[in-house]
């Protein structure tokens, strides 16, 4: 592929121009700030005061300071290719020329601003990224209220200072002083005694200085708000039927079934033969697994998806990407972070015999002898039907689910994980551990399909507090037996986050690269310190009881600077409580592992 048609190289050249210009604009902003704050040569000031009134000089200094602060904000937007930041930078450079001249005949700063304005003008094609369109509702609720609050604070404060220390207050003088302090317009109007006590002078100085700081903060805040990414509007949320058809032919990920959950949106290829299913969160598009479609469609789809996100200043990531797809991701210049292992049970190899399966074998045989049976409801053969006699089971399963959540002070997860919903049970494989002696369900598991691999992925796994030990092991073993009798190829126990298993394939040169020492240390650190909130290690060990084979799973992302936003989006997508939900009622590392498959 020639360099001019290589999106990775083309994007790298564009990024280089943006970085260089953003640094230049930031430099101009710093120059303006120092020029406004530092003293100037007396000869220039003396000459200028003969021509220009002092009020104009002071106002020019204020606008130079303001332009410098806003140039720093626009530099941040230019780094991301923002069109609105480009227009603002041109305007601020144009403003910097006269205000620097009026401030103190600062030819040097004015010349730098002129040159920068020219360089920006010939680089307009590098800045095409859209920003959020302003809405009346947003202005009413945020910027307008902040401006009104600042105005009330300034006027009321100035009026109070005059009343408290000047012996009489005037609303007109309070408004004039506020305009001078906030906008640099006019002159000082407060009538205060020349001799004030030390405490009174400190109060007056503190308040008047706070007005300039608050005004600058408000203007910078509005500038940052104007550069927010574009709002996301649901594009194809009603196209789940088209996605379902693609999943039946190409859905090979353990999380592919979650492409059909509510709140999921889609990005189709132009011919509709491939799609990316994603969840929008925190200005980030979190793709559910890999793209769904034939191999030859993936790279064009990924290029279009990347361009679509870049034009709107959205980050994106592919969650639980498979190693088979890494070459196409890396050909686009993207990065892959190993995030865990997917334990796979191959039905033709699974057996309860042998020392490795001792714990599972004993638990299964013991419960079988006690009269426990596994009841399976599989879509396509005998799906769970609430209208039939087994429909009364739904209320009992809800009780089991609620009891399980309450015992762990947990809440339902939301991204690439199921929630207990009786209306979804007819579309999922439900396996129930039925206690024949007591006539009740002791626990249950649900499986979601992996169409293209003739398999199923573990979703929910919950049991009663007083359920017999080994209930979950019993259900997994019986599910594998059922899958084998149906002709299914595999069962996935779903992602074990932060786990890492060194496999012989990695040593022989597979698509999965070996982790660096830095990655290994980061993984060990996270497993050790996050165990207080979630027992990754014990859950991984529990899944290892079944002697699975392991497949690497990755988080694919475009650039390192996007990782903080992606991490925040993942946390928010997983739970409605956000990151604080991980800090409430932490579980000790010695507690029983949570048997939630995909969490």
pLDDT tens-place values along the chain, 599 residues long: 544 445 555 555 677 889 999 999 999 889 888 877 775 555 555 555 555 555 555 667 777 788 888 999 999 899 889 999 999 999 988 888 887 776 666 777 888 889 999 999 888 888 989 888 776 665 556 777 888 899 999 999 999 988 888 777 889 989 988 888 887 777 788 877 777 788 888 888 889 888 888 888 888 888 888 888 888 876 666 688 999 999 999 999 999 999 998 889 999 999 999 999 999 998 999 999 999 999 999 999 999 999 999 999 999 999 999 999 999 999 999 999 999 999 999 999 999 999 999 999 999 999 999 999 999 999 989 999 887 877 788 889 999 999 998 887 777 777 888 788 888 899 999 999 999 999 999 999 999 999 999 999 999 999 999 999 999 999 999 999 999 999 999 999 999 988 888 755 444 444 555 556 666 665 565 555 555 556 677 888 999 999 999 999 999 999 988 888 998 888 888 776 555 555 554 444 434 444 444 33
Pairing of strands 490-492, 455-463: parallel
Q: Is 20 in contact with 119 (CB distance < 8 Å)?
A: no
User: How many Å apart are CA 6 and CA 126, to the nearest integer?
Assistant: 17
CA distances from 193 to 163, 202, 460 (A): 12, 14, 75
Q: How many alpha carbons lie under 13 Å from residue 316 in its C-beta half-sphere?
A: 28
User: How many Å apart are CA 404 and CA 216, to the nearest integer?
Assistant: 52
Helix or strand run (H / E) with residue 440: strand 440-450
What residues have CB less than 8 Å from 216, skipping those under 6 apart? 65, 66, 69
Q: Is 151 in contact with 134 (CB distance < 8 Å)?
A: no
Looking at residue 521, what is its pLDDT?
Answer: 65
**Vertex 549 angle, CA 546 and 555, to 5°:** 115
Closest residue by Cα to residue 268 from 232, 313, 296, 302: 302
CB atoms within 10 A of CB 52: 15
CA distances from 519 to 504, 579, 599 (A): 19, 23, 21
SS3 string of 465-525? CCCCCCHHHHHHHHHHHHHHHHCCCEEECCCEECCCCCCHHHHCCCCCCCCCHHHHHHHHH
User: How many Å apart are CA 534 and CA 408, to the nearest integer?
Assistant: 11
* Strand blocks (E) in 237-330: 265-268, 275-281, 284-288, 315-321
Pairing of strands 549-557, 372-377: unpaired
Per-residue DSSP letter, 436: T
- Which pTM does this prediction carry? 0.81
Q: Which tokens is 42 given? A: 């007396």
Cα of first residue to Cα of last residue in the chain, in angstroms, is 41
What residues have CB less than 8 Å from 81, skipping those under 6 apart? 14, 18, 126, 127, 128, 129, 310, 313
User: How many Å apart are CA 570 and CA 377, to the nearest integer?
Assistant: 32
Looking at residue 456, what is its pLDDT?
Answer: 98
User: How many Å apart are CA 560 and CA 289, to the nearest integer?
Assistant: 20
Return the percent helix, strand and coil in the chain, to nearest 5: 55, 15, 30
Q: Is 582 in contact with 295 (CB distance < 8 Å)?
A: no
User: How many Å apart are CA 287 and CA 424, to the nearest integer?
Assistant: 22
Per-residue DSSP letter, 292: B
Q: How many alpha carbons lie under 13 Å from residue 477 in its C-beta half-sphere?
A: 25
CB atoms within 10 A of CB 559: 12
Q: Is 550 in contact with 503 (CB distance < 8 Å)?
A: yes
Closest residue by Cα to residue 223 from 24, 71, 116: 71
Q: Which tokens is 290 given? A: 């890999």
User: How many Å apart are CA 347 and CA 481, to the nearest integer?
Assistant: 8
Compute CA 327 distance to the chain's CA centroid, rounded to the nearest angstrom: 24
CA distances from 311 to 140, 277, 599 (A): 27, 19, 32
User: How many Å apart are CA 487 and CA 489, to the nearest integer?
Assistant: 6
Question: Three-class SS of residue 282?
Answer: coil
Q: Is 420 in contact with 403 (CB distance < 8 Å)?
A: no
Pairing of strands 315-321, 284-288: parallel
**Vertex 92 angle, CA 87 and 98, to 5°:** 140
User: How many Å apart are CA 476 and CA 275, to the nearest integer?
Assistant: 32
């Amino acid at each position: 592929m020639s360099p001019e048609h290589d999106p990775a190289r083309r994007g790298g050249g564009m990024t280089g121009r943006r970085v260089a210009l953003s640094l230049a604009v930031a430099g101009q902003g710093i120059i303006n700030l120092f020029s406004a704050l530092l003293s100037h040569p007396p000869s220039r000031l003396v000459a200028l005061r003969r021509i220009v009134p002092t009020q104009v000089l002071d106002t020019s200094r204020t606008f130079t300071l303001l332009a410098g602060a806003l140039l720093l904000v626009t530099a941040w937007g230019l780094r991301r290719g923002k069109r609105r930041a480009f227009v603002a930078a041109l305007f601020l450079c144009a403003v910097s020329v006269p205000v620097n001249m009026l401030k103190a005949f600062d030819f040097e700063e004015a010349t730098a601003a002129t040159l920068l304005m020219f360089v920006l003008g010939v680089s307009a094609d590098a800045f095409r990224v859209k920003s959020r369109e302003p809405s009346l509702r947003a202005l009413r609720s945020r910027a307008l209220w902040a401006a009104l609050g600042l105005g009330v604070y300034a006027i009321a404060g100035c009026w109070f200072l005059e009343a408290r220390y000047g012996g009489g207050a005037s609303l007109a003088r309070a408004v004039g002083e506020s305009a001078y302090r906030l906008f640099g317009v006019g002159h000082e109007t407060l009538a205060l005694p020349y001799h004030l006590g030390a405490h009174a002078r400190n109060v007056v100085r503190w308040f008047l200085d706070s007005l300039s700081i608050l005004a600058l903060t408000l203007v910078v805040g509005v500038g940052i708000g104007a550069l927010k990414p574009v709002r996301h509007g649901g594009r194809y949320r009603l196209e789940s039927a088209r996605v379902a058809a693609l999943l039946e032919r190409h859905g090979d990920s353990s999380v592919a079934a979650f492409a059909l959950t509510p709140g999921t949106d889609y990005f189709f290829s132009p011919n509709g033969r491939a799609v990316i299913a994603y969840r929008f969160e925190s200005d980030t598009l979190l793709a559910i697994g890999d793209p769904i479609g034939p191999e030859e469609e993936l790279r064009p789809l990924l290029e279009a998806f990347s361009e679509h996100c870049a034009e709107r200043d959205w980050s994106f990531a592919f969650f639980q990407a498979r190693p088979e797809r890494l070459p196409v991701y890396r050909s686009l210049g993207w990065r892959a972070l190993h995030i865990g292992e997917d334990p796979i049970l191959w039905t033709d190899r699974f057996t309860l015999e042998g020392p490795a399966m001792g714990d599972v074998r004993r638990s299964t045989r013991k419960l079988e002898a006690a009269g426990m049976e596994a009841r399976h409801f599989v879509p396509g053969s005998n799906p769970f039907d609430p209208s039939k006699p087994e429909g009364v089971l739904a209320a009992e399963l809800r009780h089991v689910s609620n009891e399980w959540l309450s015992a762990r002070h947990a809440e339902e997860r939301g991204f690439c994980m199921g929630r207990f919903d009786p209306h979804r049970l007819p579309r999922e494989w439900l396996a129930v551990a039925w206690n024949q002696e007591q006539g009740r369900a002791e626990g249950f598991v649900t499986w979601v399909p992996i169409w293209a691999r003739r398999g199923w992925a573990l979703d929910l796994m919950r049991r009663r507090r007083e359920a017999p030990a080994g209930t979950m092991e019993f259900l997994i073993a019986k599910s594998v037996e059922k899958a084998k009798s149906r002709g299914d190829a595999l069962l996935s126990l779903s992602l074990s986050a932060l786990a890492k298993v060194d496999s012989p394939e990695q040593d022989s040169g597979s698509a999965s690269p070996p982790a660096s020492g830095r990655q290994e240390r980061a993984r060990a650190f996270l497993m050790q310190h996050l165990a207080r909130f979630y027992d990754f290690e014990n859950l991984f060990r529990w899944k290892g009881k079944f002697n699975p084979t392991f497949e690497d799973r990755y988080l694919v992302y475009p650039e390192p600077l996007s990782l903080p936003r992606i991490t925040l989006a993942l946390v928010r997508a997983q739970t409605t409580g956000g990151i604080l939900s991980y800090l409430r009622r932490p579980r000790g590392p010695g507690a029983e592992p949570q048997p939630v498959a995909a969490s």
